[in-house]
Amino acid sequence: MEQEKTTSGNIIDFQVLKRLYQYVKPYSLVFYSLIVLTLLTAVLGPVKPYLVSFAIDDYVSVGNYLGLVKIINILIGLLVFQAIVQYAHTYLSGWLGQTIIKDIRVRLYRHILNLNLRFFDRTPIGRLVTRNVSDIETLSQVFSEGLAALAGDILQIVFILGLMFYMNWKLTLISLSTLPLLMFSTYIFKEKVKFAFNEVRNAVSNLNSFVQEHVTGMSIVQIFNSEEREYKKFKDINDEHRKANIRSVMYYSVYYPVAEVIQALGIGLLVWWGAKGIIQEDPAITLGNLIAFIMYIQMFFRPIRMIADRFNTLQMGIVSSSRIFKLLDSRDQIPNNGSYKPDHLTGDVEFKNVWFAYEERNYVLKDISFKVQPGKSLAIVGATGAGKSSIINLLNRFYDINRGHIYIDKKDIGEYELERLRENIGVVLQDVFLFSDSIEKNITLGNPDITREKIMEAAELVGARKFIERLPGGLNYDVKERGATLSVGQRQLISFIRAMVYDPKIIVLDEATSSVDTETEELIQSAIEKLMKGRTSIVIAHRLSTIQNADSIMVLDHGEIKEVGNHQKLLEKDGFYRQLYNMQYKEVI
Ligand code: DGT
Ligand code: MG
């Protein structure tokens, strides 16, 4: 059977429902009121035909006008009451659903924010987004039209059946005679639709990932002139999506008319048998009964038809929630158990026999050991992929290492409180990421402790004050779409300021490799010098000036340290560094 499995493999996973209930608990008053309202709705409907049959047989047929008026009044009162109950039911179930969904969404987002970066290595972002948005959407349907409604429908069916048997068992059996037919077609429909929905979900997910990736990488698509090819691919994916949707619509469009016909058949049988009984003056069948039963058949078939839908919604919701819970359970977080919160650091850094792999056993750093004294600078050089960026990813615990130790001020970084650790290390990454917001927000990242004065001080320090003042609106300048409106150099300057506003004792700098114009280059070069001054700095250097000025240079190759020393010493040694220098920098000077 083709179907998405819930964790236990059951059709309805009670484990998941139990867990969902945890989210309902804070609103238990609303929840229990809903149960009462569901009960009332289930019971109120079926009472009406019973009253009608009573009115016809006991009052209309004997001409008791007053009695009839009495019953009509009761019916009207019942209708009004039912309307109120229904209103409260719909409103409260919507309220409860949306409130719980909001809670789950907050929980999920917080969880994602704290996930180990490793997690994002393995999970495509597109899928993560789909999961977040569409799974929660599906889940909200469980509350609005799934569980409560399903329970209501089942209750109503039971109640109607009870009343029918109580009134007339023969007519009941006749009414039920077409039921197997309906159940059978409903079952077939349910299976087909489940399969089709699965296809739709996959198609939506593919579509989302594709659009997301291609919008983000649009410049690459255009640089390589692959618009036509990518367009074709998109058309195929889009077509798949359309077909999957149409297939599911097709099943609905067949099922509903068929169910209608089956219901009509049921009513036909009932009327035929009932009318025959009345004409032959069978004492067991009254006109009132017959009319009530016709009403019941309609009332009865509707929930049965709906049950297929409700079941589906519920099941999809459960699959969604088990996926959400799985994400919530992924304990792939950097453990934040450290409690060491020093007021200030001296900035002593040591790596001791550090081994690290992004993926199982595929070590990108092998037995790395080095020390940087407070206030000193270390330049890391090496070919692309040597593991330079990885080293700095470890220092502020973007990733945890597999073996060895990293010490700051002689204390293992795991013992630091994570926020305090990261606060004290200023990081400038290779690619600068900017949010679509003002320059100010991009620098403070929402930290209210960082005033505009502080920002301008830091800007002054790195020599970017003029550049900011020249922007229209200054600090209010609106950065669009990840900084697309700023040059690479400008973006780097902003990331320097971002690192400097905290006045960190340790600075980690991954120099960008992309070239900038000479003027900006000079700006950046002097900014880097100022950044490093008086701070312990680890710099992944591409500029010869940065390398030459460093107190010590470390040559990295395939995750191993090859040479350490200052510029002069390493040149004399005539090894890796000399080679690198000859290849990359000789002509420049
Ligand atoms: P660069 O920036 O091109 O000069 O190169 P490095 O030296 O900064 O290299 P690095 O540390 O980014 O990469 C070292 C190795 O680790 C390389 O084989 C690619 C791999 N690697 C880097 N980042 C990731 C990551 O996020 N996930 C996985 N699975 N592997 C990564
Ligand atoms: Mg790198």
Q: Are 6 and 13 in contact (CB under 8 A)?
A: yes
Ligand nearest to the CA of 391: 1
Strands 377-382 and 552-557: parallel
DSSP output for 61-119: TTT-HHHHHHHHHHHHHHHHHHHHHHHHHHHHHHHHHHHHHHHHHHHHHHHHHTB-HHH
Among 80-94, 113-127, 240-254, 333-347, the range scoring the smallest mean pLDDT is: 113-127
Q: What is the pLDDT of residue 124?
A: 62
Winning range, highest mean pLDDT, from 326-330, 527-531, 554-558: 554-558
Residue nearest to atom 11 of ligand 1 (CA): 387
Distance 558 CA to ligand 2 centre (A): 13
Sheet holding 349-357, edge to edge: 363-372, 349-357, 403-408, 411-412
As a whole number of angstroms, the distance between CA 481 and CA 494 comes to 15
Q: What are phi and psi of 146, to 5 degrees?
A: -95, -85
Query: Residue 65: CB partners within 8 Å, gap ≥ 6?
Result: 59
pLDDT tops 60 at residue 192: yes
> What is the sign, positive or negative, of the torsion defined by CA atoms of 566, 571, 576, 582?
positive
Task: For the chain, give the percent of residues with pLDDT over 90.
Answer: 29
Ligand 1 pocket, 478 CB below 6 A?
A: no
Top-tier CATH class for 14-328:
mainly alpha
| DSSP secondary structure code for residue 478 in this structure | B
pLDDT tops 90 at residue 326: no
**Shortest CA distance to 548 belongs to which of 507, 520, 577?**
577
> What is the sign, positive or negative, of the torsion defined by CA atoms of 335, 339, 340, 344?
positive
Query: Residue 11: CB partners within 8 Å, gap ≥ 6?
Result: 315
Residue nearest to atom 4 of ligand 1 (CA): 384
**CATH code at 349-584:** 3.40.50.300
Query: For ligand 1, what atom is nearest to the CA of residue 391?
Result: 11
Helix or strand run (H / E) with residue 570: helix 567-573
Give the residue-averaged pLDDT of 383-405: 89
Distance 383 CA to ligand 2 centre (A): 9
pLDDT tops 60 at residue 220: yes
Q: What is the pLDDT of residue 6?
A: 39
| DSSP secondary structure code for residue 447 in this structure | -
As a whole number of angstroms, the distance between CA 538 and CA 6 comes to 49
Which residues sit opposite 352 in a β-bridge? Answer: 405
Give the residue-averaged pLDDT of 36-53: 90
As a whole number of angstroms, the distance between CA 372 and CA 405 comes to 14
Q: What is the pLDDT of residue 406?
A: 96
Ligand 1 pocket, 121 CB below 6 A?
A: yes
Length of the chain: 589
Q: What is the pLDDT of residue 272?
A: 93
Q: What is the pLDDT of residue 3?
A: 35
pLDDT in tens, 432-481: 888 888 888 888 888 888 888 989 988 888 888 888 888 888 888 888 76
What is the residue extent of each domain of the chain?
14-328, 349-584
Among 16-30, 297-311, 555-569, the range scoring the smallest mean pLDDT is: 297-311
pLDDT tops 50 at residue 2: no
Hunting for tokens 């009319």 — which residue is that? 291
Longest C-alpha distance within the chain, in Å? 121
pLDDT tops 60 at residue 1: no
Ligand nearest to the CA of 385: 1
Give the residue-averaged pLDDT of 100-124: 78
Q: What is the pLDDT of residue 135?
A: 81
pLDDT tops 90 at residue 422: no
pLDDT tops 50 at residue 550: yes
Structure tokens of 411?
């204390």
Among 83-87, 409-413, 493-497, the range scoring the smallest mean pLDDT is: 493-497
CA 245 to chain centre: 23
Mean residue pLDDT of the chain comes to: 85
Hunting for tokens 């280059």 — which residue is that? 521
Query: For ligand 1, what atom is nearest to the CA of residue 390?
Result: 11
pLDDT tops 70 at residue 130: no
Ligand 1 pocket, 386 CB below 6 A?
A: yes
pLDDT tops 80 at residue 564: yes
Local confidence band at 559 (pLDDT 50, 70, 90 cut-offs): very high
Ligand 1 pocket, 431 CB below 6 A?
A: no
Which residues sit opposite 333 in a β-bridge? Answer: 115
pLDDT tops 50 at residue 89: yes
Q: What are phi and psi of 405, to 5 degrees?
A: -140, 150
pLDDT tops 80 at residue 402: yes
What is the CB-side half-sphere exposure of residue 478 using CA atoms within 13 A? 2
Give the residue-averaged pLDDT of 399-417: 92
Q: What is the pLDDT of residue 165?
A: 92
Residue nearest to atom 12 of ligand 1 (CA): 389
As a whole number of angstroms, the distance between CA 226 and CA 243 comes to 26
Residue nearest to atom 14 of ligand 1 (CA): 387
For residue 349, give the 3-state DSSP assignment.
strand
As a whole number of angstroms, the distance between CA 538 and CA 504 comes to 13
Hunting for tokens 């010490």 — which residue is that? 407
Q: What is the pLDDT of residue 4?
A: 39
Q: Which residue has the higher pLDDT, 101 or 378?
A: 378
Q: What is the pLDDT of residue 350?
A: 96
**Shortest CA distance to 139 belongs to which of 105, 190, 91, 90?**
105
Q: What is the pLDDT of residue 537?
A: 93
Ligand 1 pocket, 382 CB below 6 A?
A: yes
Ligand 1 pocket, 362 CB below 6 A?
A: no
Query: For ligand 1, what atom is nearest to the CA of residue 382?
Result: 7
Residue nearest to atom 30 of ligand 1 (CA): 358
Query: For ligand 1, what atom is nearest to the CA of residue 389?
Result: 8
Winning range, highest mean pLDDT, from 415-419, 485-489, 551-555: 551-555
Ligand nearest to the CA of 357: 1
Query: For ligand 1, what atom is nearest to the CA of residue 383?
Result: 4
Give the residue-averaged pLDDT of 556-578: 89
Q: What are phi and psi of 484, to 5 degrees?
A: -60, -25
Q: At what angle do helices 169-176 and 227-279 cross, to 10 degrees?
A: 150
pLDDT tops 70 at residue 12: no
As a whole number of angstroms, the distance between CA 307 and CA 290 comes to 26
pLDDT tops 50 at residue 317: yes
Q: Which residue has the higher pLDDT, 137 or 234?
A: 234
Q: What is the pLDDT of residue 235?
A: 93
